[in-house]
Amino acid sequence: MTVSVANSMNDLIALCKRRGFIFPSSEIYGGLQGLYDYGPLGVELKNNLKNAWWRSMVYERDDVEGLDSCILTNKLTLRHSGHEATFTDPLVDCRDCKSRWRADHVNGKCQKCGSTNLTDPRPFNMMFKTTVGPVVDEESYAYLRPETAQGIFTNFKNVLDSTSRKLPFGIAQIGKAFRNEITPRNFIFRVREFEQMELEFFVEPGTDMEWHETWVETRMNWWKEQGLSSDNLQVLHQKPEDLSHYSKATVDILYRFPHGLEELEGIADRTDYDLGSHSKNPEDMGLSAHVSPNIDSTEKLSIRDAVSNKAVVPFVIEPSAGVDRGVLAVLTEAFTKETLENGSERIVLKLKPHLSPIKVAVIPLAKNNPAIVEKALQIKKDLQKLGLGRILFENTGNVGKGYRRHDEIGTPICATVDFESIEQTPASVTIRNRDTTAQERIEVSNLVNYVRDFYQTQS
């Protein structure tokens, strides 16, 4: 048997469309560039990845609270955060064919017509604007948030006051972010609407560099637990000239996507930039020059030091991961093509079981046999109660086809219900393992325990 992995994005795009993971958005109207919808399996995979992140960030720690803030954002928030002035990419026009490009993506040559007759780069702000309320005028605009982080900073005081947290502590959020990317590309890698999993971890000033290192290590380990291999992961310390306007230091976690080694997550030391920028009277707190002089928020975003009783503006370490890039990375890693000894091909998505969209497929051997179908439905119901995720009743009547489909979508276990399951005592089913294709008989009375143990030991 020979094995190969996904070396082309086309393999993944085709699988995602064929099996219902990811579709181009508004496809029946020709699509809308840089936007994708998640189908029946994609939504499960994405939710599983987000749940794994939430578990590790919130439930398994004692120093992080959760939050779900609004997408529509007051323009002042994004003015004081620096996004109105600096959240830009360099844009160039092709003078010949009139197309527009991100300057650092084109190497001086139009990607459409090949012309080198390009304008000088000029800054293009990537935030989407909209209006709020029935009056549409100069002042009624707001933004769709370009990062979830700002909702965390503007709720810093609310969370602090309602939880009595002391430093160090964090606030975690998963949600949509929007960027009007000049050139969205590489499937769901660079899109205009995406999701982020962000933690703002507030620490004593002076301890930030140590925490930065800790978080880089924690996040690398987490990605490995999602099935990404060390060979395909790398850390990159961003050069000072590449840092975002708020960052003192950023470490990127890079992944070897089908199109190349690129950023999966960024871990930034945002210092006191944001809390300072959103605070009234920043000069009282000895904040640095980045703070805008006409601050008009209603709060000082600081915390009382337990010993000195002085107001301290915490520094912030921010691990910020893209959900969509995470989905693309785990799909890339899991996609396997095996050429079997008889020459046939088997596509297997070797996802970590906790990420698999379907946890168990229950397949009746004969779709028209009421006793077998009824038994299969009962088994599905019993397994569903485990709360592992989706258990699928797969009544196509073709077990071989069922196995192939579930290999392709990454279902770790298929349980086939046959005549022995209804005629023999004790009743049993065939369990087939996705990765080894090995089959074994398991008594129906042991099945719930078997599946529970499988998920406890495999994930």
In the complex, the residues that contact ligand GAP under the rule CB under 6 A are 147, 149, 179, 181, 190-191, 194, 196, 198, 263-266, 318, 320-322, 324-325
Between 197 and 429, CB nearer to ligand GAP: 197
In the complex, least distance from residue 7 CB atom to ligand GAP, rounded to whole angstroms: 22
In this structure, the number of other CB atoms found within 10 A of the CB of residue 449 comes to 12
Between 147 and 272, CB nearer to ligand GAP: 147
Between 183 and 428, CB nearer to ligand GAP: 183
Between 320 and 356, CB nearer to ligand GAP: 320
Between 11 and 324, CB nearer to ligand GAP: 324
In the complex, least distance from residue 253 CB atom to ligand GAP, rounded to whole angstroms: 8
Burial category of 377 from C-beta neighbours within 10 Å (exposed 0-12, middle 13-18, buried 19 and up): middle
Between 318 and 407, CB nearer to ligand GAP: 318
CA 54 to chain centre: 11
Closest CA to 82 of 250, 360, 273, 235: 273
In the complex, least distance from residue 455 CB atom to ligand GAP, rounded to whole angstroms: 28
What is the layout of strands, in order, in the sheet containing 129-131? 72-73, 141-144, 129-131
Cβ-based neighbours of 30, under 8 Å, separated by 6 or more:
none
Between 73 and 411, CB nearer to ligand GAP: 73
Which sign, positive or negative, has the C-alpha torsion 127, 132, 135, 139?
A: negative
| Beta bridge pairs of residue 2 | 339
In the complex, least distance from residue 89 CB atom to ligand GAP, rounded to whole angstroms: 10
In the complex, least distance from residue 93 CB atom to ligand GAP, rounded to whole angstroms: 21
In the complex, least distance from residue 123 CB atom to ligand GAP, rounded to whole angstroms: 16
In the complex, least distance from residue 274 CB atom to ligand GAP, rounded to whole angstroms: 10
| Beta bridge pairs of residue 193 | 178
Cβ-based neighbours of 416, under 8 Å, separated by 6 or more:
363, 364, 365, 399, 429, 430, 432
In the complex, least distance from residue 365 CB atom to ligand GAP, rounded to whole angstroms: 43
CB-CB contact of 115 with 109 (8 Å): yes
Distance CA 245, CA 259 (A): 28
Distance CA 112, CA 116 (A): 11
Closest CA to 218 of 165, 150, 265: 265
Report which residue's Cβ sits closest to ligand GAP. 322
Between 78 and 372, CB nearer to ligand GAP: 78
